[in-house]
Amino acid sequence: MSNKLDPALLAAIHKLNGFETESGIRILGLGSTAADYSIEEFNDPDCWRFAWTKFLPRQAVAFAYDIAGSVYWHPDAGRQVSRLNFDGASELTASSVDEFLKLVETHIHESVRSLLDIHQRPPKKSVLAPLKPPVIAGRFLPIDVVKMPAHLALIAGGDLATSVFDGVTGVSRQATGIEPFFDERGRQRLRIRWRD
């Protein structure tokens, strides 16, 4: 996995094998001695990525996440850094990993700032996930969150973003709720019920 990482990121990881910035972004480490998820574990398709196949390029390397559950990634052997949000949108965050690492020292994303104003930082491998997902509630309310293992929050977020994408493509429909189901591999998943 380390051969797919940007040299600046690799240098930062060699100094500290995983670390959290003041801005609530957790840079992952390598191998079993990583302070949080390792990059290998976090990028395993069975960890959470299977729920995001419509939104995250297969060759993308996810190397960080924030306490609000957004994932930071760069293209395989690429330099740009993008932020994958719970709604499935990816936004360019920095033109290089160097720029990203400098940015996260001082800049706090608004969703993280609103959470830190109200809540304590969640423990490692956990995020502050919305009780009412924004795809259903229509907006993010920083007061209505729960501490949840990051990979489970990401699976739920990916399932709901995919369900919205599939449910509203080309038509206008109203969501009536969320229901759990088991996929073909026996994993518990979520989907949105739509009014016909």
pLDDT digit string (tens) for 131-180? 776 666 666 667 788 899 999 999 998 998 888 887 766 566 777 888 89
**What mean pLDDT is predicted for residues 42-68?**
94
What pLDDT, on a 0 to 100 scale, did the predictor assign at position 31?
A: 92
pLDDT digit string (tens) for 75-120? 866 689 999 988 788 899 999 988 999 998 878 888 888 888 888 8
What pLDDT, on a 0 to 100 scale, did the predictor assign at position 124?
A: 95
Closest to 135 in 3D by CA, of 108, 150, 156: 156
**What mean pLDDT is predicted for residues 40-68?**
94
pTM over 0.85: yes
Query: If you search the block for the tokens 């033109």, which residue do you land on?
Result: 95
112's tokens: 């993280």
SS3 helix, strand, coil % of the chain, rounded to 5? 30, 25, 40
Torsion sign over Cα 142, 83, 121, 50: positive
What pLDDT, on a 0 to 100 scale, did the predictor assign at position 126?
A: 96
